[in-house]
Amino acid sequence: ETSVTIDDCVYVIDSGRMKEKRFDSNKNMESLETVWVSRANALQRKGRAGRVMPGVCIHLYTSHHYEYQLESQPVPEIKRVPLEQILLRIKMISSFAGSTLNQVLAEILEPPTEDSVSGAITRLFHVGALDKDQELTPLGRHLAALPVDVRIGKLLLYGAMFSCLDSVLTIAASLSQKSPFLTPFDKKDEVNKKKKEFMTANSDHFTILQAYNGWRRAAAHSRQGGYVFANENFMSNRTLTTLVGIKAQFLDYLVAIGFVPENCRVRQKRSGEDIILDITGPELNANGNNYKLLSGLLSAALYPNIVKVLSPEKFYANSIAGAVPKIPKSEELKFKTKSDGYVFLHPSSVNHSVGHFASPYLVFQEKVKTSKIFIRDCTMVPVLPLVMFSGNELTVELVDGTFTVSLEDGWIMFVINDHIVGEILQSMQKELLKLMDKKIKDPSLNLNTDPKGKKILSTITHLVTHG
């Protein structure tokens, strides 16, 4: 629909379809959808021919569809995309300092609905970009500088800070794309069996990470090796190659805002070859296989998408050593979210057939409603990393002689030995925010060499890894 006039353009074929940014309410993320054009779009397309000589436009849809099913005008972008990045940029402009976000957006020609604005503010609060007074936090200032979904942005920043850069880049790229695993209708069991071979730490996200790393190693030897690995494991080589490009783009964003050194840019590589692990080096990837830490960072990005695992009453079986608890079957477990009530794990999840989880909490990316509400792509997250990285204020209290740390009025809770443990967790949360603020003031600051910054990060890493 470009306004450029091509002198010898005589014929235009209008498919009636176009790519458009939409907001996926299930994922709370942007997606690029193929949708029908509006009548205004169709008219603009027709105008590419006939400007300087007679022309013909062929529309590949009926006149009835044009008259009665196409919208007259395209939906304004501000009404069909998430508003988080817009709100963050408004907060960065000093001339809007005296106005609320709703007041600023109400002044534009076609403002978004109040519900859309309120929903975006709530999501920014949950991700830790805005405080209760709708002011930018240190994290929010960094997220405003990244042209990505705020949840992916938060995951990228934390991954760079906590030295698990390459793993987080892979996970972040996979969050923004469809799964690399193919789902042939007649081979679902074989696909699930292959996925189980890569299963790691009760996580769909880490399963994709492991599968991707296997493909990367195969593709590093030869392009044919990558194709063979993908085919043998029911994976899309095209999707995997796309992830390589997205990772490089995300890395460039982190370099641009000073979170990663300039010498880590991906400059030249063979098409489809992932060399990020090599160029970023061991220092930025020291915790790349620390799945407790990674699950905490994932929960930080996707919070409040948390599922509570409810196990049945314990039963015991007699043995020579005495009574031992029986592990429940997967169908005996129940799953519950705070907003939707009871939900179900999707059959495509590697956790679908799991009967016991070491932690009673799962963080998830997407929910789908069919006959039931299904949770896709979930990761078990230990309680300590979940509490540490949630970004929400922790409540430490004494209940019936036992100290507990809780979030969201007790929805997430665990027992601690004494109040000192709770105070340490609260202190570490505050120190992490201070470190973010320090990084904003000095983007060139290397947190791996700064004595105080390094100590804070290593303390938090040790805390969530070893408890």
Q: Is the pLDDT of residue 218 over 90?
A: yes
Q: Which residue has the higher pLDDT, 70 or 368?
A: 70
- Please identify, among 42, 75, 108, the residue that sits at the C-terminal boundary of a domain: 75
Average pLDDT of the segment spanning 409-420: 87
Regarding whether 111 and 68 lie in a shared domain, the answer is: no
Q: How confident is the model at residue 229 (pLDDT cuts 50, 70, 90)?
A: very high
Regarding whether 224 and 99 lie in a shared domain, the answer is: yes
pLDDT recorded at residue 211: 98
Regarding whether 91 and 57 lie in a shared domain, the answer is: no
Q: Which run of H or E residues covers position 463?
A: helix 451-466
User: Taking a C-beta distance cutoff of 8 angstroms, is the pair 310, 336 a contact?
Assistant: yes
Helix H, strand E, coil C: the string for 251-306 is HHHHHHCCCCCHHHCCCCCCCCCCCHHHHHCCHHHCCCCCHHHHHHHHHHHHCCCE
In a domain, 395, yes or no: no
pLDDT recorded at residue 277: 96
Taking only the tens place, the pLDDT of each residue in 317-345 is 666 666 666 677 888 899 999 888 899 99
The CB-based long-range contact list for 325-331 (8 Å cut-off, 24+ gap) reads 327/355, 327/356, 328/355, 328/356, 329/355, 330/354, 330/355
pLDDT recorded at residue 370: 77
Q: How confident is the model at residue 208 (pLDDT cuts 50, 70, 90)?
A: very high
Instruction: Return the closest-CA partner of residue 168 out of 308, 301, 294.
Output: 294
Number of structural domains found in the chain: 2
Give bridge partners of residue 396 from the DSSP assignment: 405
pLDDT recorded at residue 245: 94
Q: Is the pLDDT of residue 308 over 80?
A: yes
**What is the residue range of 119's domain?**
84-298
Q: Which run of H or E residues covers position 217?
A: helix 204-221
Mean pLDDT of the chain: 90
- Please identify, among 267, 298, 329, the residue that sits at the C-terminal boundary of a domain: 298
Q: How confident is the model at residue 29 (pLDDT cuts 50, 70, 90)?
A: low
pLDDT recorded at residue 313: 74
In a domain, 212, yes or no: yes
Regarding whether 89 and 156 lie in a shared domain, the answer is: yes
Q: Is the pLDDT of residue 301 over 90?
A: yes
Regarding whether 66 and 89 lie in a shared domain, the answer is: no
In a domain, 305, yes or no: no
Distance CA 466, CA 462 (A): 6
pLDDT recorded at residue 151: 93
Regarding whether 92 and 51 lie in a shared domain, the answer is: no
Taking only the tens place, the pLDDT of each residue in 259-278 is 999 999 987 666 678 999 99
Q: Is the pLDDT of residue 1 over 90?
A: no
Q: Using alpha carbons only, what angle is made at residue 173 by residues 169 and 174, rounded to the nearest 5 degrees?
A: 120
Q: How confident is the model at residue 6 (pLDDT cuts 50, 70, 90)?
A: confident
Regarding whether 88 and 71 lie in a shared domain, the answer is: no
9-18, 230-239, 434-443: segment of lowest average pLDDT: 434-443
| CATH code for position 269 | 1.20.120.1080
Regarding whether 136 and 42 lie in a shared domain, the answer is: no
pLDDT recorded at residue 461: 96
Average pLDDT of the segment spanning 229-240: 96
- Residue 304: cis peptide before it, omega within 30 degrees of 0: yes
DSSP string, 95-110: GGTTS-HHHHHHTSSS
Regarding whether 268 and 225 lie in a shared domain, the answer is: yes
Regarding whether 115 and 46 lie in a shared domain, the answer is: no
pLDDT recorded at residue 24: 67
Distance CA 350, CA 332 (A): 17
Q: Which run of H or E residues covers position 334?
A: strand 334-337
Distance CA 292, CA 302 (A): 15
Distance CA 151, CA 366 (A): 13
User: What does the DSSP 8-state code read for residue 147?
Assistant: -
In a domain, 6, yes or no: no
In a domain, 346, yes or no: no
pLDDT recorded at residue 28: 59
User: What does the DSSP 8-state code read for residue 391?
Assistant: -
